[in-house]
């Protein structure tokens, strides 16, 4: 027995050693961030000694405060192997609600305003958490949808109004400017949040269980950890801290509108990943996330001092995300193989989701034709098809990518960078017939970068394409700035919207329809398509069956970016304007259309017919509401809601079918009894 006991002893010791080693790696990572921060401050101060005077130090702390609070909440979520992209919208909604409350009750205690903002954020976070934990919808899909839903509610509530600092109570405004021992009061809020969150994750069982969930959700569930409840808690905490950030935003700036916090979610994710929290989940700390937030905000302050074009800032953020996740892969032995979020497989659907989408599309067309004046006109449908073209075009390769279990969120930035390069080339005298192949080649290069990071380095496509989303959009601004190039020849711009003879159908729409047929045949009637479905269901099994998984996925990313670049060329010609912000936000519409069409976000299921129906449903509904003078913020809410419904619906149907199957009485199978 003694021998047996001694033989069994080494594995736990080695496991403890692995844990200690992993902790040391991330301590080194955080020290590295601190060193980079010190180096950046030193270089900037040498260049301009006023960078670290008393007022500049105060501005640096205030600039980092809101980002640190958001990063702490995001870190808790990412540790559980999830992500919250709605934090910017929750911040904006909370800030506006806080301002409204203080305008209505100027004598209300500041504590009440803080609690109201935190409570509203907590409610938003609880909605996210319920959809993820109960409806079993991936966090990416949920928070992409609620990003637009919450922002749409904010815009609808604000109705174009702005809360002015002069109307805010002086006591509340003082909170945004007062200091204590030289430290801004708002920064003390961030320090308190950081210390409390760090103590909770380290000292409480529920906090440590979040790391276990991020490391292996299935193992955590088998060990008795309430995975759904912990994820719900993480999302609720993230929402509460986003609500607090909204209150701090209102106190700091005083003037509040519905655009508060718009786009900050990218910087929050960057801060967390750069700060050493593994995008794969299960490792990292809120202290590292706070350091990442401080580094990013300092970069934003240092670039103008160093006389570096501020357009580079977004590109730097994207590059930092890519560098950080690459470093995570190199440093962390226990994430050496690629982890994917398991989630429930969407098995059979209740009926055919494709058919349901087509039926809903038909109902929308019929009802809108009867209720909305001008909807049935051929002119309206001509413009509608022009709106369909870029989304449908990008949705074709995006369908292939998502079916393999990946995603590409950089497509809209590829479109914008292609448009910016196109404008710069045209200004430089390059003819359009030569610009088109250059743009397509640019798409190949951008897609190859995505594919290399995903397949060559084994990094998750979500993290990679969030990074390149920022990188490519930042490069677009570097190339063209905020200029617009609009002197393209009518022979080209007119051709982009020209209709087929005798119809109002744009020739470009007919071309996209032809491409859809080709893509559909490839997906559903060739070995290539069967290989894509096999990869989405189980890429390891696909590899063992002889499918070149990495190579196929690499070329899919190349194809997607090339098509997005082509969409950028069309977009520029249609609107006769090359701009760096062309297509901004289009990735949501593309992903929403693909998922609405029945493609599983987990990979392995879907059809191109459903995707095309989803594209038409999304654009038809949006344009019909616009024609009916429905506000733009409502359209934003509808887009986000459709994205969530597209996954909640099939999942709910699957769960219902499984429950009905369990309740069905068992059929006796014993041997027949002879009379």
DSSP labels for 262-289?
TTHHHHHHHHHHHTT--TTSS---HHHH
pLDDT score of 6: 42
Give the SS3 label for residue 117: helix
- pLDDT band, residue 352 (cuts 50/70/90): low
Helix and strand numbers (H, E) in the chain are: 27, 2
Q: What is the pLDDT of residues 624-641, one digit of tens each?
A: 888 888 777 777 777 777
For 113-154, the pLDDT digits (tens) are 999 999 999 999 999 999 999 888 888 889 988 998 999 999
Q: Is the pLDDT of residue 213 over 70?
A: yes
- Identify the pLDDT of residue 647: 67
What is the reported pLDDT for 621?
86
pLDDT, tens digit (0-9, with 9 covering 90-100), for 442-456? 999 999 999 999 999
What is the per-residue pLDDT across 158-180, written as a single tens digit (0 to 9) for each? 888 888 888 888 888 888 888 88
- pLDDT reading at 598 higher than 90: no
Distance CA 44, CA 51 (A): 7
- Judge whether residue 3 has pLDDT over 60: no
Kindly tell me if the per-residue pLDDT of 84 is higher than 90. Answer: yes
Highest mean pLDDT among 14-18, 552-556, 648-652: 552-556
Spatial CB neighbours of 83, under 8 Å, sequence gap ≥ 6: 74, 77, 139, 140, 143, 269, 279, 462
The whole-number average pLDDT for the span 597-619 is 89
**pLDDT band of 41, cuts 50, 70, 90:** confident
Query: What is the structure's pLDDT at 450?
Result: 96
Is the pLDDT at 340 greater than 50? The verdict is no
Give the separation between CA 558 and CA 564, rounded to whole angstroms: 10
What pLDDT is attached to residue 267? 86
pLDDT of residue 653: 64
How much is the pLDDT for 212?
92
Q: What is the predicted pLDDT for the residue at 96?
A: 94
- pLDDT at residue 94 is higher than 50: yes
Please tell me the predicted confidence (pLDDT) of residue 173. Answer: 83
Q: 372-417, pLDDT tens digit by residue?
A: 888 878 788 888 999 999 999 999 999 999 999 999 999 999 999 9
Q: Which two tokens stand for residue 74?
A: 């995001």
Burial label for 258, CB within 10 Å (0-12, 13-18, 19+), is buried
pTM score, two decimals? 0.74
Q: Average of pLDDT values for 539-566? A: 94
Confidence grade of residue 461 (pLDDT, cut at 50, 70, 90): very high
The rounded percent of the chain whose pLDDT value lies above 70 is 85
**Pairwise CA distance, residues 509 & 569, whole Å:** 15
pLDDT of residue 665: 58
- According to DSSP, residue 179 is labeled E
Helix (H, G, I), strand (E, B) or coil at 406: coil
Confidence of residue 605 (pLDDT cuts 50, 70, 90): confident
Decide if 566 contacts 400 (C-beta within 8 A): no
Query: What SS3 state is found at 307?
Result: coil
pLDDT band per the 50, 70, 90 thresholds, residue 268: very high
| Residue pointed to by tokens 């999304």 | 618
With 70 as the cut, is the pLDDT of residue 529 above it?
yes
CATH architecture of 353-655: Orthogonal Bundle (1.10)
User: Does pLDDT of 425 surpass 90?
Assistant: yes
**Residues 180-209, mean pLDDT to the nearest whole number:** 91
**Fold agreement between 19-44+63-335 and 353-655:** yes
For 96-112, the pLDDT digits (tens) are 999 999 998 888 888 99
DSSP secondary structure, 555-603, as one string: HHHHHHHHHHHHHHHHHHHHHT-B-TTTTTTHHHHHHHHHHHTT--TTS
Higher pLDDT, 324 or 554: 554
Is the dihedral angle over the CA atoms 140, 144, 145, 147 positive or is it negative?
positive
In this prediction, residue 23 has a pLDDT band, given cuts at 50, 70 and 90, of low
Least confident stretch, 2-6, 295-299, 345-349: 345-349
- In whole angstroms, how far apart are CA 233 and each of 127, 210, 218, 243, 426? 11, 10, 18, 15, 52
How would you label 421-453 residue by residue, b for 16+ Cβ within 10 Å and e otherwise? Answer: bbbbbbeeeeebeebbeebbebbeebbbbbbeb
pLDDT at 5 over 60: no
In angstroms, rounded to a whole number, what is the distance separating the alpha carbons of residues 609 and 525? 13
Least-confidence region, from 38-52, 96-110, 217-231, 495-509: 38-52
pLDDT bucket at 17, cuts 50 / 70 / 90? very low
Which residues on adjacent β-strands are paired with residue 506? 499
Residues in the chain: 675
Rounded to whole angstroms, the Cα distance separating 246 from 319 reads 28
φ and ψ at 163, to 5 degrees?
-90, 120
Q: Give me the chain's average pLDDT, please.
A: 84
- Contact indicator for 97, 117 with CB cutoff of 8 Å: yes
Give the whole-number percent of the chain exceeding pLDDT 90. 44
493: three-class secondary structure by DSSP: helix
Segment 649-667, tens digit of pLDDT = 666 666 666 676 666 655 4
Domain ranges of the chain: 19-44+63-335, 353-655
Round to whole Å and give the CA distance between 271 and 72. Answer: 10
Question: What is the per-residue pLDDT for 308?
Answer: 72
Region of 576 (left: φ > 0; alpha: ψ -120 to 50; beta: rest) is left
Record: fold of 19-44+63-335: ABC transporter involved in vitamin B12 uptake, BtuC (1.10.3470)
């Amino acid at each position: 027995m003694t021998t047996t006991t001694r033989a069994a002893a080494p594995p736990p010791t080695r496991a403890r050693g692995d844990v200690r080693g992993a902790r040391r790696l991330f301590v080194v990572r955080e020290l590295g961030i601190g060193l980079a921060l010190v180096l950046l401050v030193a270089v900037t101060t040498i260049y301009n000694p006023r960078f670290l005077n008393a007022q500049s130090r105060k501005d640096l702390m205030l600039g980092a405060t809101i980002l640190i609070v958001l990063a702490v909440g995001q870190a808790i979520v990412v540790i559980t192997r999830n992500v919250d992209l709605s934090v910017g919208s929750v911040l904006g909604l909370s800030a506006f609600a806080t301002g409204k409350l203080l305008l209505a009750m100027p004598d209300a205690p500041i504590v009440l305003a803080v609690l109201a903002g935190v409570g509203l954020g907590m409610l938003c976070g609880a909605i996210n958490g319920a959809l993820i934990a109960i409806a079993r919808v991936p966090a990416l899909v949920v928070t992409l949808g609620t990003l637009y839903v919450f922002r749409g509610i904010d815009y609808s509530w604000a109705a174009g109004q702005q809360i002015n600092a002069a109307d805010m109570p002086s006591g509340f405004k003082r909170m945004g400017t007062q200091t204590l021992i030289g430290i801004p009061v708002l920064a003390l809020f961030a320090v308190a949040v950081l210390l409390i969150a760090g103590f909770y994750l380290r000292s409480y069982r529920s906090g440590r269980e979040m790391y276990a969930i991020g490391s292996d959700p299935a193992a955590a569930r088998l060990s008795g950890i309430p995975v759904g409840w912990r994820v719900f808690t993480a999302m609720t905490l993230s929402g509460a801290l986003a609500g607090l950030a909204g209150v701090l935003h209102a106190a700091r700036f005083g003037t509040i509108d519905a655009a508060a916090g718009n786009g900050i979610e990218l910087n929050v994710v960057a801060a967390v990943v750069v700060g050493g929290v593994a995008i794969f989940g299960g490792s990292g700390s809120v202290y590292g996330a706070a350091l990442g937030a401080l580094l990013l905000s300092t970069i934003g302050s240092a670039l103008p001092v160093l006389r570096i074009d501020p357009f580079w800032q977004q590109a730097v953020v994207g590059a930092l995300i890519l560098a950080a996740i690459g470093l995570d892969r190199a440093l962390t032995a226990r994430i050496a193989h690629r982890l994917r979020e398991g989630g429930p497989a969407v098995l059979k659907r209740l009926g055919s989701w494709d058919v349901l989408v087509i039926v809903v599309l038909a109902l929308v067309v019929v009802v809108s034709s009867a209720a909305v004046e001008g909807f049935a006109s051929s002119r309206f449908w001509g413009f509608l098809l022009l709106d369909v073209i870029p989304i449908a075009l990008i949705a074709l390769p995006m369908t292939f990518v998502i079916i393999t279990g990946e995603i590409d969120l950089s497509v809209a930035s590829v479109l914008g960078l292609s448009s910016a390069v196109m404008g710069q080339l045209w200004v430089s005298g390059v003819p359009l017939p030569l610009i088109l192949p250059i743009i397509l080649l640019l798409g190949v290069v951008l897609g190859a970068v995505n594919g290399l990071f995903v397949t060559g380095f084994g990094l998750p496509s979500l993290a990679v394409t969030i990074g390149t989303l920022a990188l490519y959009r930042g490069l677009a601004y570097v190339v063209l700035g905020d200029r617009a190039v609009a002197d393209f020849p009518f022979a080209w711009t007119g051709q982009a919207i020209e209709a087929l003879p005798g119809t109002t159908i744009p020739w470009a729409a007919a071309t996209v329809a032809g491409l859809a047929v080709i893509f559909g045949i490839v997906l559903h009637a060739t070995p290539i398509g069967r290989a894509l479905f096999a990869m989405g269901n189980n890429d390891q099994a696909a590899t063992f069956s002889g499918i070149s998984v990495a190579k196929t996925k690499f070329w899919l990313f190349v194809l997607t970016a090339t098509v997005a670049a082509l969409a950028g060329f069309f977009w520029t010609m249609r609107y006769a304007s090359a701009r760096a912000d062309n297509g901004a936000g289009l990735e949501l519409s593309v992903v929403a259309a693909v998922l609405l069409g029945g493609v599983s976000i987990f990979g392995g299921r879907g059809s191109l017919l459903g995707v095309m129906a989803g594209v038409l449903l999304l654009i038809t509904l949006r344009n019909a509401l616009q024609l009916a003078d429905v506000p733009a913020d409502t359209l934003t809410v509808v887009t986000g809601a459709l994205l969530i419904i597209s996954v909640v619906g099939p999942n709910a149907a699957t769960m219902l079918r499984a429950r009905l199957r369990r309740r069905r009485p068992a059929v006796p199978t014993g041997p027949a009894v002879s009379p």
